[in-house]
C-alpha cells in the first residue's frame, strides 16, 4: 500500500551488490527517487537508495566506511550523478565510476573544502560568522 | 554645461534601470522583485526597467544570502556596472544572511562584499517594500549628487 | 492572434496598477509586518529569544534590554505566539527600507523578582546573533 | 565547424536564479551543455544541528519561497508520522487549501515566466496580473504573500473564517474566468506553438529512467502524482493526475495550465467540506527514528528523509526536491536543441535552484 | 539651399520625434498589458541618464562603431528630407547597420557575438524587402528619387498594397519588435541579454538608442511615402501602421531566425513579386 | 582614327610626322604592354637567380604599367601592325595558335585526359576549317582596336596585375621556404605571371577575334600552369579542371568564330558591332555566335556551373589567385560579354544573359555565406561580382554598362587588395580561415586594418563598388527589360554579400582593451607597397569616381547607347532614375568618420571592462573567459554562423548547377 510517509524500512545491502541491484531495479522499470546519506558518527555512513514504482517505494540501506570508495550507480541511473556528487561534497565520500565527477566542486568552493573536510559530518560544527 | 548637467541629473533620478542578481535567495524575494515589474505594481512608472545586464544598469537589486561561490559573481557584476550606481539589498537574506546566516556556506549579507545603499527588510520583502526601497535609493542618489538630504533612518516610529 | 482580444480589453479598461506609494490601499489585518514590543509589559522571559527560528532577538534580563535585529528577522511571528505577556505584536505594515542597518534596542525596567532572575540565569541555548 | 561557447548564467535575465550552464553551440545548435551549481548552496540541512525541530519548520519553508508552505507541510507530516501525532482534520483540509493555493500561484508564475521565455511579454504580464489574486489571498489569510508560515508540527497556525472562505471562492471564480481567457493563447496560438511544440522532447521511458517528476513526468504521459498518496486530506478529495502524452515543452505547459484549473477545483472541494475541529494537536516528546515522506509540489514529488535521535535537534534532515530530480532530464534535452530553445527547455522543468542546492 | 535648411531642421527634430514615439509606444504597450506605464518623456530621461554615465567599453572599435552608426542613420534621414535617392539612402543606412554588427563582433563576448550573427540574418531578411519596395516605387514613378514620389497624383498605397506589407515586415524587424526581436530588444528578457547591445553601456548605448530613433523615423518616413497626397492621409497611415506594430508586438511570441528567414523572405518576396508584376503589367 | 599615309605636302607631311610619331609611339606602347611582358617573362625564365629576378620583375611591371598609362593617355585608337620582324602577324598568330593547341594536346595526352584531348581536337578542327576553308585571306582586319573600355582593362591589368607580380616576389620567396624546395621554381612561376599580363593586354586590345582567341587560349594555358604550380595532387586536379572548363569555352569561341566568319564575313569586332546596329540584323545568324561568345565568356568568368575551377584555383599561391580573380583571367570573360553587348542589345539573348548573371550573383553569394575559408569567400564573391557585371551587360542600357565598367575597375582594385591581404595573413598565422583571423588586430594591426578597408570598399558607400552596385540596381529596376525576378535576385544577392563581408570585417577587429596599441607589425616592402597602393587606390579612386566615370566609363558607354548614362556635376551622379552624391557623401561620412575615430581614441584604458559573461567573467593568462563547471576556467570562443545546412557547398552546388545548366540551355535554345 503506497503511503506518503512511512517509518523507514530499508533492506540492508552490501557494497558489492549495489550496482547489480540498481541494474535489476532499472530493468524492472523502477525510478531512482534519490539517495540519502547519514553520518553514523562511528566512522560509517548509511547510504539509502530510494526507488519507486507506481508510487510504491523500496529502500536499501548500505552501511559503509566513510573513507572507502562507494560503487557508483550513475552508469546505470544517470540521474544518480547529481546526488552522488552532492554526497561527495557533503560527506567527502568517494564514488567509483561516477560518470561526471565534479570532485567536490558541485556546490563547494576552496574556501569551504580547505577549511572543513566535510560539512555534513556529525562532529563538524557549523562555522559561525560574525 | 549647467543646463545639460541638470537634465542629466533629472534623467538619473527618473530612469533607474535595474539589474537583479539572485545570490542564494530562496526565491521568495526573487519572485517579489519580479512581481514589481508586473501590472499590479508596474515599477516602469518610475522609469524602472529590468535590463538584466549589469553594463546597462544603474541599480543592482540583490536578493538572498551571499555564499562563497556567488560572492565572486556579485563582485563581478558590481564591477561591471558603470558609475554612478547604487545597490539595494533585499530581504533578510540580502541584508544580513537572514535565517541562513549561520550556515557553513553562507558569508552573510550583501554588504560583506560590496557597498550597499539601501537595506530592505522582510522575508520576503513585499513589492511595496521593494518600491519603497527604490524610492529610498533614489533619495540616496539625490543626496550623493548634492541635491537633497540623506533619507533618515527610522528605528522606531 | 488569440491574445488580441485580451490586449484590446486591457487598453479599453482601466489599468490594474496600484499606484503605490502615491495611493495606498488598506492593509490586510493579519499581515505580519513590523515587529513591535510594548516594552513596558515585557518580563524579559526570553521565550521569544529561545523560540525565534532566526535567532535575531537578544534579551538581557539583568539590564532590562530587549534587542531585535529587524534585518535578520524573518517576520514569522513565532515570538509573538510565544510571548507570555502578549507584549510582542506585529503591525500590519511592513518595515520601511533604510540606508543603513541598525538594531532595534529597547530599554525596559529590569524585573527584580526572583522568578525572573532565575529564568534569566538559565543559560541561553542558542548563540546570540550578530549585533 | 566553428563553435561558440556561451556562459548561460549565473546571472542571466531569463533565469531569475543562478543556474549556470556552459553551452557549446555550433550555428546555434547545442552540442554540449555542462551545468555548474553551487551559487545558491547554503547548506541549510546542517542547521538542524543548532535549531530545534520546531524552528526547522520555518527554515525548511525557506528552502524555496515559491512553494514554501508545501515544504513545511511535508516536514511536519514526516515528524507527525515519526512522533505518532494524529492531526485534526480541519488542519488537514486547511493544509490542502493553502498548498493548492501555492500550486496555483506557482503555476501562474511559471506560465508567466515561460511566456517571457519565448518573448511573449504581454502574456507574461497577464499571468502575473491574475496571479496577484492568489497573492492577496495568501496575504489576507496567512499574513504573508509568499512565505506563509502556517504549518506547525501537529497542525496549522491559522484558520479561515466563513467570510474569508466566501471571499476566496469569489476570487477563484474571477481568477478562473481570467485564466480561461488566456488558455487559447497559451495552448493554441500559432507563434506560441511554433516555439513550444517539439522542443525538449522526453519520452515516457526516458522520463522515468532519468528520474523526472511532476509535470515534467506527467507531460510525458506518466500519470504519477504524489497527491495520489492521499496525504493531508487528499484521500478524501476527487482528482485525477493531469497528463499529456506528447513529452515536449508544449505538453508540459499544458499539464501546468490544466493543473492550475484542477487546483482551483480542489480548493473549492476542500472549502466546501471543511470540517469543524481543532487546528493543531498537542505534540508530546522528542522525535526519534527514521521517516521518509513525500508530497507533490508544483514542480513534482518532494521527498524528506528525517532522522531523530530523541533530542530536540534532528539528527538529519535530508531534502530531495523536485528540481533536483528534474535536472538530469534537462541535461538530456539540451544537446541538439537550438540556442533559442534553451530558455524554453530549461523553463519547462520549472527549475528552482534554490531548492536544488538548499 | 532652402531644402537643405529645411532638411537640417527636420534632422534636428528627428530624435525628438523618435523619442516621443518611443515614449508613446512604451505607454501604449503598458496599457495593452494593463499596466500604468512610464511617463511619455521616459525615453529622453533614459538617454540623458545614459549620457551622464561613465564610459565603459571593451575596446575602441565599439566606440567608433557607435558613432558611425548614429552618423550614418542621421545622414540617411538627411537624405530623406533632402528628397534624395531612395536606394542611396538605404545604402547609407546600411553603413550604420554594418558597423553595429562590426562593433559587436569586435568584442569577445558570446552574447554580442551571437547577437551580431543574428543581426546579420535579420539584415538578410529585411534588406531585400526594402530594396524591392524601392524598386516598386521606381516602377510606379519612374525613378528612385523621393521628389518624384511627391510628383505622383495618386497615393502609392493604392498601387502597391502588398509592397507596403513587405515594408511592414522590414519595419517590424527594424523596430526590434516581436516576433522579430531576435538579435536585440528593448529590455533584456531574452536569451541574448540584448545581443548586439550587450557590450555597449552608458553614453555609447545612448548613441545607439538615438541612432535607433533615426532609423525608426526614417522607416516610418518611407511608409509615409505611400500616402503622400494629403497630410491627413499620411498621418492616419502612420498611426495605423504604428498601432499595428505595437499590437503585433503584444500578440506574438518571439520567433527564431530560421522561421524569420523562411517567413519574411518567403512570404515577403512572394507578395513583392506579385505586386511588382502587377505594376509591370499596368 | 589614325592611319599611316605617305603624302608629301608639307602641311600633310608635318601632320604625317605627328601621325608617324604617334604611330611609332603607339607601336612602342602596344609593344610595351603586349609583347614586352613576354620578353620579360623569357628573361626571368632564363636569367635565374633571385637578384636578377628582383630587378627584372619590378622594372618590367613598371614599364608595362607605364606603357598602359601611355596608351590611356593617347586615347582610343585602332592600329594594325602588319608584321613583326618581317613575319606577317596574321600568319604568325595562326602558327602560334596551332602550336598552342598542340602543346595543350600534348599536356592532355600526358595526363591521359580524354576530355581535354577531345576539346582540343575540336578546336583544332574548327580552326583548320576556319583558317583554310572559311577565311578570306584577302580582307584586311584591323588587328588592334582600343576604346576606353579596352584601355580601362589595360590599365587594370597592367597596374593591379603588376602590383600583384611585385607582391609575388616576396611572397614566393617565403612560400618556397615553407615548402623547402630543392630547386627554386620561381623562374617558371614568374614566366607565366608575366606572360599572363601580356596575353591579357593582347586580349583586350585585339580587334581581330581570331587574335583575341589566341590570347584567350594563352591565358587558359597560363592559368593551367599557375594553378598547378605547387605540383600537389590537389593542385594538379584543380588545374586540370580549370583547363577542361576553359577549353570548353574555347570550343564555343571557335564555334563563334566559324559562325561569324560565315554569316558576317568578318572577324573584326568593330565591323561586327557596326553591322549589328543596322535594323533587322539581330537574327539568329548573329545571335548564335554571340551566344557562343557569351558562353565562352561565362566559362572564363567562372560563372555557374563552371564556378568550381575558380574555387579550385585557390590551391595556387596567393598571387596567382589574386591575379586570376582581380585583374586578369576572369575579367577576360566579362570583357568579352560586355564587348559584344551592343550586338545583342534588346534581344532575348540579352535578357537571358541578364537573368543568368543575376542568378550567378545570388547563387555564389549564397555559397560565399557558407564558407569560412577566407580565400573561398573571396572566390565566390568574385564570381558573384562577375555575375553582377554580366547581369549589367545583359540589362544593356548605358547606365548598366557604366555600372559594369565601374564594377570591373573597383572590383579589380579591392579584390586584388583583399587577396594580397589574405596571402600576407596566411603566411603569418598559417591559416586562411576566417575563424583563425579572430582578433587579428592584436597580431597584425596594420594588415587587419587594411583588410577591413578593403572589405569596406567592397560593400559600403561612398566607395566605388557601391556606386557601381547602385547603378546596377537602378538600371535593373528602370530598364525596360526589368523583370521582377531579376530585381529580386539582385536584391537578395546584395543582402547576402553584406552578410559575409560584415562578419569578416567584424571578427578581424576583435580586441579587448580600449585605446590599445598593439605591438607594431613588420610588413615586408613587397607586401606593404602593393597593399598601400591598392588600399589607397580603392579609397582614392572612389573619391575620384566622378573623374573615373567621365574619363573612362562614360566614353565606353557612349558606344552602346546614344543617351549618356549619368550627368556628373560637382561630384554628383544623376540621371532620370536617381542621384548619387559622391562628394557630399564623402565629405559628411569622412568628417563623421574622423570624428568617430577621435571619439574612440579618447576612451582610454581606464574605461576598460571585460565582456559580460553572466557575472562569471575571468582572465587567466591574458585569456578572456569565465569560471565554468567544476570551478574551472573556460576560455570563450565564438564562431560565425556558416549555416552549412542552408548555405553549404554540398547542399547548394548541385541544385545551383542544375539551374545554371537549364538557364544556359534556355539561353542557347532561345536564340534559335
Ligand atoms: S568533518 Fe570531522 S568527522 Fe567529518 S570527516 Fe571531517 S574530520 Fe571527520
Ligand atoms: S529573505 Fe526570506 S524570502 Fe527573502 S530570500 Fe531570504 S529567506 Fe527567502
Ligand atoms: S513562565 Fe517561565 S518559562 Fe513560561 S514563558 Fe514565562 S518565563 Fe518563560
Ligand atoms: S518574527 Fe520570527 S524571526 Fe522575527 S523575531 Fe519573531 S520569531 Fe524571530
Ligand atoms: S517573550 Fe515577550 S515578554 Fe518575553 S522577553 Fe520576549 S517580548 Fe519580552
Ligand atoms: S524549488 Fe520547487 S520544490 Fe523547492 S521550494 Fe521551490 S517550488 Fe518547492
Ligand atoms: S523556477 Fe526558480 S528561478 Fe525560475 S522563477 Fe521559479 S523560483 Fe525563480
Ligand atoms: S523580449 Fe522581453 S526584453 Fe525584449 S522587448 Fe520584449 S519584453 Fe522586452
Is the CB of B14 inside 8 Å of chain F's CB atoms?
no
Least confident among D6-10, D54-58, D83-87, E114-118: D6-10
Residue F328 DSSP SS3? coil
Lining ligand 7 with CB less than 6 A are B 27, 30; D 16-17, 66, 113, 350-352
CA dist D281 and D279 (Å) reads 7
Alpha helices in F301-373 (DSSP H): 307-312, 318-322, 329-339, 341-344, 348-369
CATH number of the domain residue C47 falls in: 3.30.70.3270
Which residues on chain E are in Cβ contact (under 8 Å) with F488?
128, 132, 269, 272-273, 276
Distance between CA A37 and CA A88 in Å, rounded?
A: 10
How many structural domains does chain C have?
1
- The predicted model scores a pTM of 0.85
What is the Cα–Cα distance from D171 to A55, expressed in whole angstroms?
34
Instruction: Report the residue count for chain E.
Output: 282
Q: Which residues contact F80 (CB under 8 A, 6 or more apart)?
A: F140, F141, F142, F143, F144
Select from E31, E53, E59, E195 the residue whose CB has the most chain B CBs within 10 Å, as the one to mutate to test that interface.
Answer: E53
Report the range of poorest mean pLDDT among B142-151, C89-98, F249-258: B142-151
**C74–B123 C-beta distance less than 8 A:** yes
B57 vs D contacts (CB less than 8 Å): none
Q: What per-residue confidence (pLDDT) applies to C116? A: 47
Task: Find out whether the beta carbon of C47 lies less than 6 Å from any atom of ligand 3.
Answer: yes
Q: Does A112 touch chain B (CB under 8 A)?
A: yes
Chain B interface, best mutation among D10, D120, D353, by max B CB count within 10 A:
D10
| DSSP state letters, D295-331 | EEETTEEEEEEEEEESSSSEEEEEEE-HHHHHHHHHH
Q: Do you find a cis peptide bond into C21, omega within 30 degrees of 0?
A: yes
Q: Is the CB of C55 under 6 A from ligand 3?
A: no
Among partner residues C15, C55, C71, which is closest to B119 by beta-carbon distance? C71
Instruction: Average the pLDDT over each of D124-128, D253-257, D353-357, F336-340 and give the range with the smallest value.
Output: D353-357
Q: Kindly list the strands in the beta sheet with C104-107, ordered across the sheet, starting from the edge strand earlier in the chain.
A: C57-60, C65-68, C104-107
Residue F593's nearest CA partner among F456, F439, F406 is F456
* CA–CA distance, B16 with A12 (Å, rounded to integer): 60
CA angle E141, E142, E148 (to 5 degrees): 50
Angle at F400 between CA F292 and CA F459, to 5 degrees: 105
Q: Which domain does E249 fall in, by range? A: 2-281
- What pLDDT is recorded for position F251? 87
Find the DSSP H helices in chain D: 55-60, 68-82, 89-117, 121-142, 162-188, 190-196, 204-209, 215-218, 249-272, 322-333, 342-348, 353-357
Of D119, D189, D195, the CB nearest to E181: D119
| Domain-wise residue ranges, chain B | 3-144
For F485, the grid coordinates are 525576378
Residue E27 C-alpha, separation from nearest chain F C-alpha, in angstroms? 30
Q: What is the residue whose three cell numbers read 505607454?
A: E27
F505 Cα to chain D: minimum distance (Å): 17
Distant-in-sequence, close-in-space partners of F559: CB < 8 Å, separation ≥ 6? F147, F149, F273, F342
User: Is residue C128 over pLDDT 50?
Assistant: no
Q: In this predicted structure, what is the pLDDT of residue A125?
A: 46
- Residue C33's pLDDT band, with cuts at 50, 70 and 90, is confident
Chain mean pLDDT for chain E: 84
Rounded to whole angstroms, how far apart are CA atoms C46 and C52?
Answer: 10
Q: Which residues of F touch A109 (CB under 8 A)?
A: 631
| Separation of CA D357 and ligand 2 centre (Å) | 15
The predicted structure's pLDDT at residue F1: 37
Contacts of E205 in chain B (CB under 8 A): 56
- Residue A86 Cα to ligand 1 midpoint, Å, equals 16
D146 burial (CB, 10 Å; 0-12 / 13-18 / 19+) is buried
Count CB-CB contacts under 10 A for residue F62: 13
Residues 79-138 of B with CB under 8 A from C: 88, 92, 95-99, 101-102, 109, 111, 117-123, 125-129, 131-133, 135-136
- Is residue C121 pLDDT above 50, yes or no? no
pLDDT at residue F516, as a whole number: 65
Task: Write out F608-633 in H/E/C secondary structure.
Answer: ECCCCCCCCEEEECCEEEEECHHHCE
Q: Residue C118 falls within a domain, yes or no?
A: no
In a domain, A126, yes or no: no
> Which chain F residue is nearest to residue A100, measuring alpha carbons?
F630
Which residues are CB-contacts of D283 (< 8 A; sequence separation ≥ 6)? D80, D83, D85, D153, D154
Does the beta carbon of E51 lie under 8 angstroms from any beta carbon of chain F? no
Give chain D positions within 8 Å (CB) of C53: 51, 55-59
In a domain, C63, yes or no: yes
pLDDT for position F190: 84
- Indicate the range of B44-48, C121-125, F339-343, F530-534 predicted with least confidence: C121-125
Number of domains in chain E: 1
Minimum-distance CB partner of B82 among E38, E193, E202: E202
Interval between CA C48 and ligand 4 midpoint (Å): 8
pLDDT for res F295: 86
- At E186-204, the pLDDT tens digits run 665 567 777 778 888 888 8
* The CATH number fitting domain D3-357, selected from 1.10.3720.10, 3.50.50.60, 3.40.50.2030, 1.10.645.10: 1.10.645.10
* H/E stretch holding A36: strand A31-39
Could you tell me if residue C72 is inside a domain? yes
Which has the closest alpha carbon to F267: F317, F224, F314, F214? F214
Return the residue of A nearest to C129 by Cα: A130
Q: Return the H-helix or E-strand segment holding D24.
A: strand D20-26
Domain that residue C57 falls in:
31-111
Amino acid at each position: 500500500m503506497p503511503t506518503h510517509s512511512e517509518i523507514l524500512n530499508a533492506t540492508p545491502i552490501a557494497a558489492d551488490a549495489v550496482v547489480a541491484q540498481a541494474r535489476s531495479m532499472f530493468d524492472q522499470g523502477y525510478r531512482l527517487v534519490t539517495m540519502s546519506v547519514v553520518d553514523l558518527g562511528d566512522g560509517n555512513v548509511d547510504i539509502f537508495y530510494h526507488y519507486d514504482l507506481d508510487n510504491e517505494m523500496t529502500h536499501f540501506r548500505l552501511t559503509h566506511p566513510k573513507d572507502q570508495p562507494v560503487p557508483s550507480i550513475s552508469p546505470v541511473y544517470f540521474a544518480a550523478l547529481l546526488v552522488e556528487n552532492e554526497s561527495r561534497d557533503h560527506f567527502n565520500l568517494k564514488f567509483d565510476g561516477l560518470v561526471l565527477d565534479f570532485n567536490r566542486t558541485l556546490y563547494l568552493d576552496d574556501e569551504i573544502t580547505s577549511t572543513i573536510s566535510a560539512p555534513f559530518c556529525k562532529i563538524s560544527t557549523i562555522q559561525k560568522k560574525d | 554645461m549647467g543646463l545639460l548637467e541638470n537634465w542629466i541629473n533629472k534623467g538619473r533620478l527618473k530612469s533607474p534601470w535595474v539589474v537583479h542578481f539572485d545570490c542564494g535567495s530562496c526565491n521568495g524575494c526573487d519572485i517579489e522583485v519580479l512581481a514589481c515589474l508586473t501590472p499590479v505594481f508596474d515599477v516602469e512608472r518610475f522609469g524602472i526597467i529590468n535590463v538584466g545586464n549589469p553594463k546597462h544598469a544603474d541599480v543592482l537589486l540583490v536578493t538572498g544570502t551571499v555564499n562563497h561561490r556567488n560572492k565572486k559573481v556579485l563582485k563581478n557584476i558590481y564591477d561591471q556596472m558603470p558609475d554612478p550606481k547604487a545597490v539595494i539589498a533585499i530581504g533578510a537574506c540580502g541584508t544580513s544572511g537572514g535565517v541562513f546566516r549561520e550556515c557553513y556556506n553562507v558569508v552573510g549579507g550583501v554588504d560583506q562584499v560590496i557597498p550597499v545603499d539601501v537595506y530592505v527588510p522582510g522575508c520576503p520583502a513585499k513589492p511595496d517594500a521593494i518600491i519603497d526601497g527604490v524610492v529610498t535609493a533614489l533619495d540616496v542618489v539625490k543626496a550623493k549628487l548634492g541635491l537633497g538630504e540623506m533619507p533618515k533612518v527610522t528605528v522606531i516610529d | 492572434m488569440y491574445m488580441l482580444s485580451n490586449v484590446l480589453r486591457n487598453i479599453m479598461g482601466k489599468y490594474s496598477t496600484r499606484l503605490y506609494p502615491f495611493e495606498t490601499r488598506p492593509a490586510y489585518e493579519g499581515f505580519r509586518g513590523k515587529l513591535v514590543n510594548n516594552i513596558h509589559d515585557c518580563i524579559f522571559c526570553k521565550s521569544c529569544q529561545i523560540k525565534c527560528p532566526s535567532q535575531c532577538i537578544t534579551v538581557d534580563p539583568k539590564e532590562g534590554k530587549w534587542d531585535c535585529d529587524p534585518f535578520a528577522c524573518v517576520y514569522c511571528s513565532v515570538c509573538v505566539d510565544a510571548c507570555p505577556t502578549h507584549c510582542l505584536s506585529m503591525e500590519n505594515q511592513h518595515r520601511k527600507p533604510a540606508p543603513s542597518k541598525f538594531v532595534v534596542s529597547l530599554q525596559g525596567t529590569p524585573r527584580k523578582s526572583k522568578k525572573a532572575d532565575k529564568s534569566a540565569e538559565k543559560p541561553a541555548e542558542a548563540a546570540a546573533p550578530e549585533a | 565547424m566553428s563553435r561558440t561557447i556561451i556562459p548561460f548564467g549565473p546571472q542571466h535575465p531569463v533565469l531569475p536564479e543562478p543556474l549556470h550552464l556552459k553551452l557549446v553551440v555550433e550555428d546555434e545548435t547545442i552540442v554540449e551543455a555542462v551545468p555548474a551549481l553551487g551559487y545558491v548552496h547554503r547548506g541549510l540541512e546542517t542547521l538542524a544541528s543548532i535549531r530545534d525541530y520546531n524552528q526547522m519548520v520555518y527554515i525548511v519553508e525557506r528552502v524555496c519561497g515559491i512553494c514554501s508552505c508545501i515544504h513545511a507541510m511535508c516536514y511536519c507530516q514526516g515528524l507527525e508520522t515519526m512522533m505518532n501525532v494524529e492531526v485534526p482534520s480541519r488542519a488537514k483540509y486547511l493544509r490542502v487549501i493553502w498548498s493548492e493555493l501555492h500550486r496555483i500561484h506557482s503555476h501562474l508564475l511559471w506560465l508567466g515566466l515561460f511566456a517571457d521565455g519565448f518573448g511573449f511579454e504581454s502574456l507574461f504580464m497577464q499571468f502575473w496580473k491574475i496571479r496577484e489574486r492568489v497573492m492577496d489571498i495568501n496575504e489576507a489569510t496567512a499574513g504573508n504573500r509568499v512565505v506563509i508560515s502556517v504549518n506547525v508540527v501537529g497542525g496549522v497556525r491559522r484558520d479561515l473564517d466563513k467570510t474569508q472562505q466566501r471571499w476566496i471562492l469569489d476570487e477563484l471564480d474571477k481568477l478562473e474566468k481570467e485564466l480561461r481567457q488566456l488558455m487559447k493563447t497559451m495552448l493554441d496560438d500559432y507563434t506560441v506553438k511554433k516555439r513550444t511544440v517539439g522542443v525538449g522532447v522526453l519520452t515516457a521511458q526516458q522520463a522515468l529512467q532519468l528520474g523526472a517528476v511532476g509535470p515534467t513526468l506527467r507531460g510525458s504521459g506518466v500519470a504519477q502524482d504524489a497527491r495520489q498518496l492521499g496525504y493531508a486530506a487528499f484521500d478524501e478529495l476527487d482528482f485525477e493526475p493531469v497528463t499529456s502524452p506528447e513529452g515536449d515543452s508544449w505538453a508540459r505547459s499544458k499539464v501546468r495550465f490544466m493543473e492550475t484549473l484542477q487546483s482551483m477545483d480542489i480548493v473549492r472541494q476542500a472549502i466546501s467540506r471543511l470540517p469543524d475541529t481543532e487546528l493543531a494537536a498537542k505534540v508530546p516528546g522528542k522525535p526519534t527514528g527514521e521517516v521518509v515522506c513525500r508530497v507533490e509540489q508544483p514542480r513534482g514529488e518532494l521527498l524528506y528523509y528525517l532522522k531523530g535521535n530523541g533530542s530536540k535537534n534532528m539528527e538529519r534532515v535530508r531534502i530531495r526536491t523536485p528540481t533536483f530530480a528534474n535536472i538530469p532530464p534537462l541535461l538530456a534535452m539540451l544537446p541538439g536543441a537550438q540556442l533559442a530553445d534553451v530558455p524554453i527547455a530549461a523553463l519547462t522543468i520549472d527549475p528552482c535552484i534554490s531548492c536544488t542546492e538548499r | 539651399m532652402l531644402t537643405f535648411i529645411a532638411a537640417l531642421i527636420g534632422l534636428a527634430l528627428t530624435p525628438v520625434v523618435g523619442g516621443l514615439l518611443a515614449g508613446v509606444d512604451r505607454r501604449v504597450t503598458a496599457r495593452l498589458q494593463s499596466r500604468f506605464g512610464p511617463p511619455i518623456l521616459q525615453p529622453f530621461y533614459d538617454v540623458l541618464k545614459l549620457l551622464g554615465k561613465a564610459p565603459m567599453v571593451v575596446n575602441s572599435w565599439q566606440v567608433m562603431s557607435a558613432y558611425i552608426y548614429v552618423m550614418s542613420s542621421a545622414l540617411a534621414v538627411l537624405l530623406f528630407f533632402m528628397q534624395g535617392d531612395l536606394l542611396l539612402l538605404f545604402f547609407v543606412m546600411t553603413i550604420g547597420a554594418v558597423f553595429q554588427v562590426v562593433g559587436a563582433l569586435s568584442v569577445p563576448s558570446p552574447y554580442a557575438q551571437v547577437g551580431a550573427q543574428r543581426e546579420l540574418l535579420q539584415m538578410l531578411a529585411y534588406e531585400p524587402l526594402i530594396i524591392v519596395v524601392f524598386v516598386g516605387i521606381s516602377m510606379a514613378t519612374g525613378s528612385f528619387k523621393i521628389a518624384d514620389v511627391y510628383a505622383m497624383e495618386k497615393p502609392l498605397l493604392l498601387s502597391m498594397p502588398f509592397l507596403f506589407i513587405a515594408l511592414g515586415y522590414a519595419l517590424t524587424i527594424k523596430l526590434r519588435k516581436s516576433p522579430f526581436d531576435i538579435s536585440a530588444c528593448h529590455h533584456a528578457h531574452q536569451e541574448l541579454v540584448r545581443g548586439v547591445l550587450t557590450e555597449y553601456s552608458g553614453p555609447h548605448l545612448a548613441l545607439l538608442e538615438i541612432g535607433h530613433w533615426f532609423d525608426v523615423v526614417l522607416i516610418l518616413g518611407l511608409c509615409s511615402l505611400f500616402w503622400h497626397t494629403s497630410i491627413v492621409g499620411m498621418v492616419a497611415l502612420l498611426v495605423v501602421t504604428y498601432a499595428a506594430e505595437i499590437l503585433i508586438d503584444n500578440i506574438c511570441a518571439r520567433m527564431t531566425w530560421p522561421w524569420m528567414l523562411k517567413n519574411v523572405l518567403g512570404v515577403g518576396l512572394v507578395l513583392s513579386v506579385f505586386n511588382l508584376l502587377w505594376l509591370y503589367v499596368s | 582614327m589614325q592611319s599611316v599615309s605617305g603624302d608629301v605636302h608639307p602641311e600633310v607631311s608635318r601632320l604625317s610626322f605627328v601621325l608617324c610619331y604617334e604611330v611609332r609611339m603607339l607601336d612602342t606602347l602596344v609593344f610595351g604592354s603586349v609583347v614586352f611582358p613576354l620578353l620579360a617573362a623569357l628573361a626571368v625564365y632564363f636569367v635565374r637567380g633571385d637578384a636578377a629576378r628582383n630587378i627584372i620583375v619590378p622594372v618590367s611591371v613598371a614599364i608595362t604599367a607605364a606603357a598602359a598609362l601611355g596608351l590611356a593617355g593617347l586615347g582610343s585608337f585602332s592600329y594594325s601592325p602588319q608584321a613583326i620582324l618581317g613575319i606577317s602577324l596574321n600568319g604568325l598568330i595562326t602558327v602560334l595558335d596551332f602550336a598552342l593547341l598542340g602543346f595543350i594536346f600534348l599536356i592532355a595526352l600526358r595526363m591521359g585526359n580524354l576530355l581535354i584531348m577531345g576539346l582540343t581536337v575540336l578546336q583544332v578542327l574548327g580552326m583548320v576549317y576556319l583558317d583554310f576553308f572559311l577565311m578570306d585571306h584577302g580582307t584586311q582586319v584591323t588587328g588592334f582596336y582600343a576604346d576606353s573600355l579596352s584601355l580601362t582593362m589595360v590599365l587594370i591589368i597592367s597596374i593591379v596585375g603588376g602590383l600583384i607580380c611585385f607582391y609575388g616576389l616576396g611572397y614566393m620567396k617565403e612560400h618556397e621556404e615553407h615548402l623547402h624546395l630543392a630547386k627554386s621554381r620561381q623562374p617558371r612561376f614568374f614566366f607565366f605571371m608575366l606572360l599572363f599580363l601580356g596575353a591579357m593586354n593582347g586580349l583586350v586590345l585585339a580587334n581581330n577575334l581570331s587574335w583575341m582567341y589566341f590570347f584567350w587560349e594563352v591565358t587558359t594555358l597560363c592559368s593551367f600552369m599557375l594553378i598547378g604550380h605547387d605540383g600537389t595532387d590537389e593542385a594538379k586536379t584543380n588545374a586540370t579542371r580549370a583547363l577542361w572548363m576553359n577549353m570548353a569555352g574555347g570550343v564555343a569561341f571557335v564555334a563563334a568564330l566559324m559562325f561569324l566568319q560565315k554569316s558576317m564575313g568578318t572577324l573584326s569586332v568593330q565591323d561586327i558591332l557596326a553591322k549589328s546596329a543596322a535594323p533587322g540584323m539581330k537574327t539568329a545568324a548573329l545571335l548564335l555566335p554571340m551566344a557562343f561568345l557569351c558562353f565562352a565568356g561565362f566559362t572564363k568568368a567562372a560563372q555557374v556551373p563552371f564556378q568550381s575551377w575558380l574555387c579550385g584555383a585557390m590551391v595556387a599561391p596567393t598571387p596567382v589567385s589574386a591575379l586570376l580573380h582581380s585583374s586578369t583571367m576572369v575579367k577576360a570573360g566579362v570583357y568579352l560579354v560586355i564587348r559584344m553587348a551592343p550586338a545583342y542589345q534588346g534581344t532575348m539573348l540579352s535578357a537571358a544573359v541578364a537573368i543568368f548573371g543575376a542568378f550567378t550573383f545570388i547563387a555564389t553569394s549564397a555559397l560565399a555565406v557558407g564558407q569560412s575559408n577566407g580565400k573561398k569567400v573571396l572566390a565566390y564573391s568574385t564570381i558573384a561580382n562577375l555575375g553582377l557585371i554580366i547581369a549589367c551587360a545583359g540589362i544593356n542600357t548605358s547606365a548598366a554598362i557604366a555600372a559594369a565598367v565601374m564594377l570591373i575597375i573597383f572590383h579589380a582594385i579591392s579584390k586584388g587588395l583583399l587577396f594580397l591581404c589574405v596571402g600576407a595573413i596566411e603566411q603569418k598565422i598559417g591559416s586562411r580561415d576566417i575563424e583563425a583571423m579572430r582578433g587579428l588586430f592584436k597580431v597584425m594591426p596594420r594588415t587587419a586594418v587594411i583588410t577591413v578597408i578593403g572589405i569596406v570598399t567592397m560593400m559600403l558607400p561612398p566607395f566605388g563598388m557601391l556606386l557601381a552596385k547602385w547603378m546596377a540596381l537602378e538600371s535593373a529596376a528602370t530598364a525596360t527589360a526589368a523583370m521582377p525576378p531579376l530585381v529580386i535576385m539582385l536584391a537578395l544577392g546584395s543582402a547576402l554579400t553584406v552578410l559575409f563581408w560584415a562578419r569578416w570585417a567584424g571578427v578581424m577587429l576583435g580586441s579587448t582593451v580600449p585605446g590599445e596599441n598593439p605591438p607594431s607589425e613588420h610588413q615586408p616592402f613587397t607586401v606593404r607597397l602593393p597593399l598601400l597602393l591598392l588600399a589607397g587606390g580603392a579609397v582614392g579612386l572612389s573619391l575620384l569616381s566622378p573623374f573615373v566615370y567621365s574619363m573612362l566609363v562614360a566614353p565606353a558607354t557612349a558606344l552602346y547607347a546614344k543617351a549618356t548614362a549619368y550627368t556628373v556635376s560637382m561630384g554628383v551622379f544623376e540621371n532620370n532614375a536617381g542621384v548619387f552624391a559622391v562628394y557630399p557623401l564623402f565629405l559628411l561620412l569622412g568628417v563623421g568618420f574622423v570624428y568617430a575615430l577621435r571619439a574612440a581614441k579618447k576612451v582610454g584604458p581606464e574605461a576598460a571592462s571585460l565582456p559580460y559573461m553572466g557575472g562569471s567573467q575571468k582572465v587567466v593568462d591574458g585569456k578572456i573567459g569565465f569560471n565554468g563547471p567544476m570551478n574551472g576556467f573556460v576560455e570563450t570562443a565564438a564562431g560565425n554562423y556558416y549555416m552549412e545546412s542552408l548555405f553549404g557547398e554540398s547542399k547548394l552546388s548541385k541544385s545551383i548547377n542544375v539551374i545554371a545548366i537549364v538557364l544556359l540551355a534556355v539561353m542557347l535554345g532561345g536564340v534559335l
